[in-house]
Chain A
Amino acid sequence: MHLNLNPQTRKRLQRFRKIRLGYFSFLTLASLVALLCFAELLVNSRALIVHYQGETYFPTYSGFYSGNKFGLDYSYQVNYRQLAAVFAKEQSSNWVLMPLVPYNPYENHSPGSVFKPEPPSFQTQHYLGTDTTSRDILARLVYGTRTALLFAFAFMICVYFIGILVGCSMGYFGGVFDLIFQRLIEIWSNVPFLYMVIIVFSIIPSDASIPARISILLMVMVLFSWTSMTYYMRTETYKEKSRDYIAAARVIGASTMRVISKHILPNVLATLVTFMPFTIVSAIAAITALDFLGFGLPVPTPSLGELLKQGTANLRTAPWIVISAFGTLVALLTLVTFIGEAVRESFDPKKFTIYR
């Protein structure tokens, strides 16, 4: 891969790689994200491959196959686990390859006769047990984490986009524009964030589809979170703007857009990057907190907060719920924090400091 990086950035990246804790955390998280992108292949009630009467089907990403299609007596979606059992019994040339965890996060699959939390078991392939309505915890964790991470990345991008745009403009234009926006931001940032999210989200008519509802939640959260980024961007831009190279660029007639995007932004990037991991951490924490309070992602979307809530309600009888959810949350937040610390350190211009 050939990247045209300036020497300073290259140096920073080298320093980042040397901070082993942060670097390995980064590798772990990156591979986790890569895996989560293909979660459907690992955790799913749909089979990976079905071989039936000489033909091969790949149901994971394809559409819906009815039971009749594979010789079962119903017209709704095939139960592939059942199909695998049927084929195995027939001892014909038909076969089914199931994913590692053969459950989806929504189905109530109880090994016993009632829906209740079941402890982890390799035999039933519920590797982390089931929740209070016999849904597979691992499946819910995987999809819940994916949603949380996706949500956090989208949140970060939106917040940074608005924060940079407003912050840079304030720093660059200064004067009355800066004054007015500063006051507006001061007022806006005093609106209690979580309170507003709860209020706004509760009055939004929620008969929209689940992705639409998640996007609305994202928008509301972004709306009340972009302000803090502007402070850093504003001061950084102010600082850079008064440097000679900016003055030089302006003298040779560079446009405002060009000055900001080509000269200022690359130089304030260091500050930005160090904040990113912590924004992710706070986004994951916020969405989990909202879910825990019951104001987050719509039912029955799998989520960490919802699992945590179930877990705390069943501490005595089903400790595996809270252990799984809490463990995942701690691991996730620790990884991101380690990365954040490493990034901050590698971008720190003071290489030798007595505070280390």
Chain B
Amino acid sequence: MNRCSPFLLIPLLLILSGCNESDSKKSNLEEPIDNTQEVADYYAAYPDFFQIRSLTDVPANLHWQDGSDLPEIGSPDAKKGGSEYVRIQDFPRTLRTVGPDSNGSFRRWILDDTAMSLGHRHPDLMDFFPGLATAWAVDAKTKTVFVKLDPDAHWSDGVAITADDYFFTFWLNRSPYITAPWYNNYYNTQFTGITKYSDYLIAVTIPELKPDTDAKVLGLSPLPRHFYRQVGSDFIERYQWRIAPTTGAYVIHEKDLKKGRSVRLSRNPQWWAGNKKQWRYRYNVDAINLTVIRDTPKEFEAFKRGDIDQISLNLAEYWHEKLPDNDPDVAAGYIEKKVFYNQKPRPPYGLWINTSQPMLDDLNIRLGIQSATHWQLVIDKFFRGDYQRLATANDGYGKFSHPSLKARQFDIKLALDYFAKAGFKQRNSKGILERSDGTRLSFTLSSGYESLKDVLTILKEEAAKAGLEYRIEVLDGTSGWKKVQEKQHDLHFSAFGYALELYPRFWETYHSSNAYDQAFDDLGNPNPDRKLKTQTNNLEAFAQYEMDQLINAYRRSSEEQEMVNLAHKMSEIHHANGSFVPGFYQGFFRMGHWRWVRYPENFSHKHASSATQLFVHWIDQDLKTQTQFAKQQGTAFAASVRVYDRFRN
């Protein structure tokens, strides 16, 4: 036997998995493509969607808004310059922002948190302030949003950003070349047209008016027309590692891309928005060095050495034990700790029950599961009381969230009553309930969260007290997600990441058309031949005729109060169905940073989801030298552990 084979193989595996590029395709990729004609033909083929008009056609009585009265983000004290060192868990699999593998955690550095869109929501007040637009106006009659583009705006390579780039955005996102069905669908169905009045005035039309009609349009980010001239059927390979010009402050230079190891973002000194309001005190650091460190424990060690400047301390273990307030570096003021309570749509962490599975289609069993799942213990003991119990699947939407619904408490007696109603009355030799025919009350509890597997173990131990058996299945993230998308789960522990939106979505998760093909007949009775629909976000296979009607009304409605009422009603129906066991939410974010990383006085903003999201911090070089010297000498500063609870519930 080869005694050391398992250990020798591990590095080999890592090397092998890194080599997935094929050189054979390279020669083809060199061939030039020019899609100018193809794009022009496409515009011509959809004359209703892509329109060109003159400035005289712009309605005269528009009410233009420009968000100029909103308070400024960031601090005037911010110093530009310095280098920041940041950990990334994986090297990005591509530098594309669309197409396969592009929706990874790296995207925030090249798109989500750095690129500019037409307008941006103010992180305190939710209203929009200008990004690439200077002003916008909603014409309710034609369901159109008019947008004046900033003539100063240009791409990082110096080319001006004009209406053509927005036209092209629709072409690319509707194109089959990008292999991104969600984008294809979104840009095909959520917009009904774009009109160019001049190079710097466009209008975008949407199918339904909503309370936040402007949000959908102002959220648009343009794509550089001149850069994507070579898009064709080989888009995915051709653009895999090409660095696109950006609207944002940070650019990547070819030489700073060390595949598999690190990427450096450099602040563009010619960034066009560098002196604009809302932007001038942000993106202060000159160079952001992103280095791959796979393990979180290693990241922590790197942070303690000062190799990286900031670290998220959201996990209780890290906040309370690995970096406690009496840690020598914290006590001496070299490292500062901060907690910030925020308000935002809460990711619905909880158990998603697949109601299309046998037994789980029984309401009594689902209600029994609700009472047999001890989330409060997990929150109190595992998360050390830092997190809070989620009430519904749509918390954190302000008045759209239900004001009084609460998740059901752990109650063994109640759970046993419900299970008894479903025929489970006898305990077997292991204490698990059984029906008289020998059926056991046992379900698979799966999850793609490897790091939270202990949560499942705790739930399992507690559920056994109520005679319910959870068979735990911990998968890696991708296979976990695949399992629920195929609707093969019994109960799945997961959550959706919700973007900052005014009101929750219900269609994706609760509409019957996402659960079954033809769930109901014309009279609203369940169709006996209906087939389960996979690859949708209706993870509960939730299908109720009444809910469908409410969702349709909700989607059509443009009246805010009506939508609020509908949202509450739908939350109540969902609660009564018991197909989602609300888990926990984290009402804050917390982090540690070295003393030389500085933040504005108020640290962060009401709706922010992390401290670094808005790039308001800066590196103070003098403080860095001072702190490093003091650490050598052993002199201490005042300790700083701060709690910002202005927005605490």
Contacts and interface: CB of A to CB of B under 8 A. Distances in A.
Interface of A: 63-64, 66, 74-77, 106-108, 110, 113-116, 132-134, 192-195, 198, 202, 206-207, 209-210, 225, 228-229, 275, 278-279, 281-282, 285-286, 289-290, 293-294, 298-300, 312-317
A279 B427 CA distance: 43
Contacts of A116: 317, 320-321, 384
B60 interface: no
Nearest to A275: B1
A226 B490 CA distance: 37
A113 B380 CA distance: 8
A273 to B, nearest CB: 14
6 contacts: A76-B466, A113-B381, A202-B476, A285-B6, A289-B7, A299-B453
Given A115-B458, A192-B13, A294 B450 contact: yes
B554 to A, nearest CB: 36
Interface stretch (B212-220, B467-475, B503-511, B536-544): B467-475
A75 B381 contact: no
CB-CB nearest 8 A-B residue pairs? A63-B429, A76-B465, A64-B431, A300-B457, A133-B454, A194-B9, A286-B6, A207-B444
Contacts of B446: 207
B1 A133 contact: no
Given A64-B430, A115-B458, 5 more contacts: A75-B416, A113-B380, A192-B9, A195-B13, A281-B3
B412 A74 contact: yes
B299 to A, nearest CB: 11
A298 B431 contact: no
Nearest to B16: A195
A285 B427 CA distance: 40
B322 A317 contact: yes
A121 to B, nearest CB: 17
Given A74-B412, A192-B9, A282-B5, A300 B473 contact: no
B476 A66 contact: no
B45 interface: no
Contact of B382 (A133, A225, A279, A286): A133
Given A74-B412, A76-B412, A133-B458, A299 B474 contact: yes
Given A114-B384, A316-B322, A282 B457 contact: no
Given A77-B464, A192-B9, A299-B453, A282 B322 contact: no
A221 to B, nearest CB: 10
Contact of A206 (B12, B322, B382, B473): B473
B10 interface: yes
A315 B473 CA distance: 27
The size class of the interface chain B forms with chain A is: 35 or more
Nearest to B462: A108
B203 to A, nearest CB: 50
B412 to A, nearest CB: 7
Interface in B447-463: 450, 453-454, 456-458, 460-461
B381 A110 contact: yes
Contact of A299 (B13, B297, B456): B456
B2 interface: yes
B479 interface: yes
Nearest to A318: B321
Contact of A193 (B9, B381, B444): B9
A192 B13 CA distance: 9
B457 A202 contact: no
B436 to A, nearest CB: 18
Contacts of B465: 74, 76-77
Contacts of B5: 193-194, 282
A298 B473 contact: yes
Contacts of A229: 1
B381 A76 contact: no
B2 A228 contact: yes
Contacts of A279: 1
Nearest to B490: A207
Contact of B7 (A74, A77, A114, A285): A285
A314 B322 CA distance: 8
Contacts of A194: 5-6, 9-10, 13
B431 A77 contact: yes
B457 A76 contact: no
Given A279-B1, A285-B7, A298 B322 contact: no
Contacts of B467: 76
Interface of B: 1-3, 5-7, 9-10, 12-13, 16, 295-297, 316-317, 320-322, 380-382, 384-385, 412, 416, 427-431, 444, 446, 450, 453-454, 456-458, 460-461, 464-467, 471-476, 479, 490
A289 B10 contact: yes
Contacts of A113: 380-381
A114 B6 contact: no
B470 to A, nearest CB: 10
A107 B381 CA distance: 13
A251 B503 CA distance: 91
Nearest to A193: B5
Contacts of A300: 453, 456-457, 460, 472
A77 B479 CA distance: 35
A132 B431 contact: no
A79 B471 CA distance: 22
A107 B473 contact: no
A90 B228 CA distance: 82
A207 B473 contact: yes
Choose among A110, A202, A299 the residue with the greatest number of B CB atoms under 10 Å from its CB.
Answer: A299
Contact of A64 (B322, B427, B466): B427
Given A132-B454, A195-B9, A299 B472 contact: yes
Nearest to A117: B321
A64 B426 CA distance: 12
A132 B320 CA distance: 13
Given A116-B317, A195-B13, A282 B297 contact: no
Given A64-B430, A116-B321, A133-B458, A228 B297 contact: no
B381 A108 contact: yes
B297 A115 contact: no
Nearest to A207: B444
A281 B3 CA distance: 8
A115 B471 contact: no
A313 B322 CA distance: 11
Contact of B321 (A64, A202, A293, A317): A317
Nearest to A228: B1
Contacts of B475: 206
A116 B320 CA distance: 10
Contacts of A299: 453, 456-457, 472-474
Contacts of B385: 114
Nearest to A116: B321
A132 B457 CA distance: 12
A193 B3 contact: no
A64 B461 CA distance: 15
Nearest to A285: B6
Contacts of B381: 108, 110, 113-115, 134
Contacts of A225: 1
Given A194-B10, A289-B7, A298-B473, A202 B479 contact: yes
Nearest to B432: A64
A67 to B, nearest CB: 10
B471 A209 contact: yes
Contacts of B429: 63-64
Contacts of A314: 297, 317
A295 B624 CA distance: 43
A115 B457 CA distance: 12
Contacts of B428: 64
Contacts of A77: 431, 464-465
Nearest to A134: B381
Contacts of B316: 114
Contacts of A316: 322
Contacts of A193: 5-6, 9
Contact of B427 (A75, A133, A192, A294): A75
Contact of A108 (B322, B427, B461, B479): B461
